[in-house]
Amino acid sequence: MRVPLAWLNLVHEKSRLVVALAGVAFAVLLVFMNLGFLGALAQSASMFYQYMDADVFLVSPQTLEISSSKAFPRDRLYQAAGIKGVARVMPLYLGYLQWRNPETRDSRAVFMFAYNPQDRVFLLPELNTSATLAALDRPDTVLFDRLSRPEYGSKDIGTKTEVDRRTVTIGGQYELGGGFAADATVVSSDQNFLRLLKIPLNLVNMGLIKLEPETDAQAIAAQLRQVLPKDVVVKTKAEIIENDRSYWITSTSTGFIFGMGVAVSCVVGVVIVYQILYTDISDHMKQYATLKAMGYRSGYLFNVVIQEAIILSVLGYIPGFLSSVGLYAFAASATNNALPVAMDWQRAVMVFILTIAMCVLSALISVRKVVTAEPVELF
């Protein structure tokens, strides 16, 4: 067996190794956190749709994503209802309420879902119990999201507060989470939507179409596109999820920030590893030059540096990964699970490969020095 020069050189300088591994672990942690948030952003963008009991969606062409939707005529839904294969059409009204915290009297915006209580828009079992359905039917009553931020005050059933000069009562609870779009959500009946926001119900924000079982959503969507005028856009569930996801990731600063965070973390990692490798090479220039005098080729020294980089990346990844798992749990609990940050193996593998690439890149930058080791300089 070859003398494991790369490994022995690294472990010889214990404190330097610890610093190097801490640096790599830190970079790995930063990458994981940014990817975690980016993943949570993508997931929370699709979360609303995952819970909706519909296969095809109608939205206005001006709607960018769910929380900033524009309204379109309700008649489009009735037109869609005539298509064979459509089981049910459900208008969904969306808007923002100024919710006053009953304790501090500060008003904050909550995102409101409103629909006819006869429709089962959400698949959440809590929203379909007889008690919540009865609460939905009561005037000036809303259901409050348990995953809303604590700044909204009490979420208990029976809490009364003021919304746009009307007294509103919390009549029930559910768990949905607002993701990046909203800090709090409420669900109400379409009648209460009209009462609170004074927007006519013949303009809807989103049309939910449930199909008969065994029906091809793509085919129905294509058919709807032909039938309906251009003031609505038809999207299957997968298409609308992809639409919102790409909106959040590519055309908001939120997505950009996390993407940039990943890039900056990688740069930090590259610089740290470069620094360590360069110092290590500088300290051993005489020895490397001696190896060359003994008849070793530059390729051998190149390999030693690459090996050191890979050892650093593997050993640095492990603590980085473990602390990321811990911080994911912390981030999820700090946001009442509204921010769905969680580790998945694809991301773990991806970051592992990224870590190795990062360290090898540093090695490639620093390796130029070792190749210049010249035995004649030893004399």
Partner 1 sequence: MSHLSNDLPSDSPHFSSEEIAVSVRHLDYYYGQGDLRKQVLYDINLELSKGQIVIMTGPSGSGKTTLLTLIGALRFLQEGSLNVLGQELVGLSKSELVEVRRNIGFIFQAHNLFDSLTASQNVEMAVEVLQDWGNKRQRAVEMLAQVGLAERVDYKPKALSGGQKQRVAIARALVNQPSLILADEPTAALDKQSGRDVVTLMQTLAKEQGCTILMVTHDNRILDVADRIVNLVDGHLESDQNFTAFSQTHDPKALV
Instruction: State yes or no: residue 303 binds partner 1 (CB under 8 A).
Output: no
For partner 1, the closer of residues 10 and 59 by Cβ is 10
**Options 215-223, 267-275, 288-296, 343-351: segment touching partner 1 (CB under 8 A):** 288-296
Closest CA to 277 of 369, 374, 363: 363
> Measured from the CB of residue 26, what is the shortest distance to partner 1 in angstroms?
25
Shortest Å, Cβ 378 to partner 1: 5
Distance CA 365, CA 354 (A): 16
By the 8 A CB rule, do 147 and 178 touch?
Answer: yes
Span interacting with partner 1, options 82-90, 136-144, 292-300, 364-372, rule CB under 8 A? 292-300
Q: Which pairing describes strands 185-189 and 107-115: parallel, antiparallel, or unpaired? A: parallel
Q: Could you give the residue ranges of the DSSP H alpha helices within the chain?
A: 5-12, 14-50, 75-81, 130-137, 190-197, 217-227, 237-250, 253-283, 285-293, 298-334, 345-371
Residue 2 binds partner 1, judged by CB under 8 A: yes
- Coil vs helix vs strand at 123: coil
Q: Give the residue, chosen from 167, 295, 345, 346, that forms a contact with partner 1 under the rule CB under 8 A.
A: 295
DSSP code of 297?
Answer: -
Cα 171 from chain centroid (whole Å): 31
The minimum distance between CB 65 and partner 1, in angstroms, equals 57
Of 232-240, 270-278, 283-291, 311-319, the window that binds partner 1 (rule: CB under 8 A) is 283-291
Q: Max alpha carbon distance in the chain (Å)?
A: 94
Q: Which of 181, 262, 289, 367 binds partner 1 (CB under 8 A)?
A: 289
Amino acid at 355: T
Name residues contacting partner 1, limited to 11-40 (CB under 8 A).
11-13
Inter-helix orientation angle 345-371/253-283, to 10°: 40
Which residues, numbered 335-374, are part of the site for partner 1 (CB under 8 A)? Answer: 374
**Closer Cβ to partner 1, 14 or 84, answer by number:** 14
Nearer to partner 1 by C-beta: 345 or 379? 379
In this chain, which of 9, 44, 243, 313 binds partner 1, going by CB under 8 A?
Answer: 9
Task: Please state the closest distance from residue 353 (CB atom) to partner 1, in A.
Answer: 29
CA 371 to each of CA 28, 305, 374, 377: distance values in angstroms, whole numbers, following the listed order: 29, 10, 8, 13
Selected binder of partner 1 within 3, 130, 158, 230 (CB under 8 A): 3
Out of 5, 56, 142, 170, name the contact with partner 1 by CB under 8 A: 5
Position 378 contacts partner 1 (CB under 8 A): yes
- d(CA 112, CA 320) in angstroms, rounded, equals 40
Chain positions contacting partner 1, by CB under 8 A: 1-3, 5, 8-9, 11-13, 284, 286-287, 289-297, 374-376, 378-379
